[in-house]
Amino acid sequence: MEQQIAQPATERIREVCRYIDHHPDEPLTGDRLAAMAVMSRFHFARAFRAVTGVTPKEYVNGARVRALKQGLRGSHGVDSAIYDAGYGSSSRVYENAAQRLGMTPGQYRRGGAGVEISTVCVDTLLGCMAIGATDRGVCFLQFGDSPEPLALQLRKEYPNATVVPAPLPRPPFDVWIDAINRYLAGEQPHLDLPLDIRATAFQLRVWKYLQGIPYGDLQSYKEVADGIGEPDAARAVARACGMNAVALAIPCHRIVRGDGSLGGYRWGLHRKRVLIDMEREGRAQTRP
């Protein structure tokens, strides 16, 4: 990778990101990445987080997760996929599998085989809502007109997982449902649910950024792209929003087109309109 001292810091960070994306199998230490950007390690770490929204280590891990997922989905064995993705040992991946994949690499490759997902389907102000959760957190939160399509969508995401109704009594589902209903009623601006989700490095950057958009505010796809340091990635931001599997907790409803129109929303524009209006009204009521 060429070092170009005259380049602005933001562009040097983007070049480092591109290098990481294409070389996740290499030893990408903080010192090496800082040298690529022609910065001190301290300055590089601060600049990298400012541009991407994540630390260099988190970004490297994200790139390796993406490579690992591609390998697991291909014809390679689990061990080959792990080493091809740049992990030094298979034990490290298995030890941290919950953080990286939400399940072990073998389970992910087998479409969630061996994973149990408990589900609840209830009526809300936005219609039918299905929640799916592993023992680590919510992995599925979506809306629909009836339970059946939502169950099919969960099956599509985890085709070989064991999906079971949450037993009664069903904490923490009742706590989550209460928090969601209070949010939808405009009584609880901040929705904090434990999540067990999987993401590419880019999706993680977008979703973390979305979670930082204040309640009641709206931003365009272009503004999000600028915010994560990828000004030409507005379409990719839109795709990342469309891949969000946990509505509300990752508030993709706060993203609109540059002309102010609603844009897309996988759970229906009528629901997006309700959420935007509800948040704006709630924010107006809390202002002095």
Q: What letter represents residue 79's amino acid?
A: D
End-to-end CA distance of the chain: 53
Domain boundary among 109, 129, 150: 109
Among candidate residues 62, 92, 109, the one where a domain is terminated:
109
CATH code, 125: 3.30.160
Residue 2 lies in a domain: no
pLDDT in tens, 225-279: 999 888 999 999 999 999 999 999 999 999 999 999 999 999 999 999 999 999 9
Strand duo 116-124 + 127-134: pairing: antiparallel
CATH of the domain at 233: 1.10.10.10
pLDDT of residue 107: 52
Average pLDDT on 30-36 reads 92
The pLDDT of residue 273 = 96
| pTM (2 d.p.) | 0.64
For residue 172, is the peptide bond before it cis, meaning its omega torsion is within 30 degrees of 0?
Answer: yes
Residues 117/134, Cβ–Cβ less than 8 Å: yes
Over residues 136-153, the pLDDT tens digits come to 789 999 999 999 999 999
Stretch among 29-38, 88-97, 116-125, 154-163 having the lowest mean pLDDT: 88-97
Q: How far is CA 41 from CA 44, 152, 174, in A?
A: 5, 48, 46
Model pLDDT, residue 68: 62
Q: Are residues 91 and 63 in the same domain?
A: yes
Most confident region among 55-64, 163-172, 187-196, 272-281 by mean pLDDT: 272-281
Are 96 and 18 part of one and the same domain? yes
Q: Are residues 18 and 96 in the same domain?
A: yes
Establish if 4 belongs to a structural domain. Answer: no
Q: Are 237 and 223 in contact (CB under 8 A)?
A: no
Query: For residue 167, is it within any domain?
Result: yes
68 and 120 together in one domain = no
In a domain, residue 58? The reply is yes
Please tell me the least confidently modeled range out of 51-65, 77-91, 223-237, 248-262: 77-91
pLDDT score of 189:
87
- Do 122 and 104 share a structural domain? no
Percentage of the chain modeled with pLDDT above 90? 46
Strand ranges in 157-230 using DSSP code E only, listed in sequence order? 162-165, 219-220
Taken in order 87, 93, 99, 103, the sign of the CA dihedral is positive
Cα 176 vs. chain centroid, distance in angstroms?
Answer: 19
Structure tokens at 282: 């709630």
Q: Is residue 101 part of a domain?
A: yes
pLDDT for the residue numbered 2 = 38
Residues 120 and 93 in one domain: no
Greater confidence, 18 or 85? 18
At residue 108 the predicted structure's pLDDT band, cuts being 50, 70 and 90, is low
Domain span holding position 72: 9-109
pLDDT of residue 202: 84
At residue 93, the pLDDT reads: 43
* Residues 150 and 128: beta-carbon distance below 8 Å: yes
Output the average pLDDT for the chain: 81
Q: Is 254 part of any domain?
A: yes
Name the residue with higher pLDDT: 87 or 124.
124
Both 127 and 161 in one domain: the answer is yes
Residue 94 pLDDT level (bands cut at 50, 70, 90): very low
* Residues 62 and 143 occupy one common structural domain: no
DSSP class of residue 131?
Answer: E
Mean pLDDT along residues 58-85? 59
Active site residues: 252
Single-letter amino acid code for the residue at 281: E
- Choose one of 109, 126, 158: the last residue of a domain: 109
In a domain, 192, yes or no: no
Residues 6+ apart with CB under 8 A from 105: 68, 72, 78, 81, 82, 93, 94, 97
Are 81 and 104 contained in the same domain?
A: yes
Structural domain contains residue 68 = yes
What's the pLDDT at 163?
93
Query: Where residue 53 falls among pLDDT bands split at 50, 70, 90?
Result: confident
Tell me: do 82 and 100 sit in the same domain: yes
pLDDT score of 60:
84
DSSP class per residue in 217-234:
--EEHHHHHHHTT-TT-H
| Residue 165 pLDDT | 92
Q: Say yes or no: 102 and 19 in one domain.
A: yes
The count of structural domains within the chain is 3
| CATH label of the domain that carries residue 97 | 1.10.10.60
Residue 239 half-sphere exposure toward CB, CA atoms < 13 A: 8
User: Percent of the chain at pLDDT above 70?
Assistant: 79
32 & 50 share domain: yes
How many other C-beta atoms are found inside a 10 Å radius of the C-beta of residue 151?
A: 16
| pLDDT at residue 248, rounded to an integer | 97
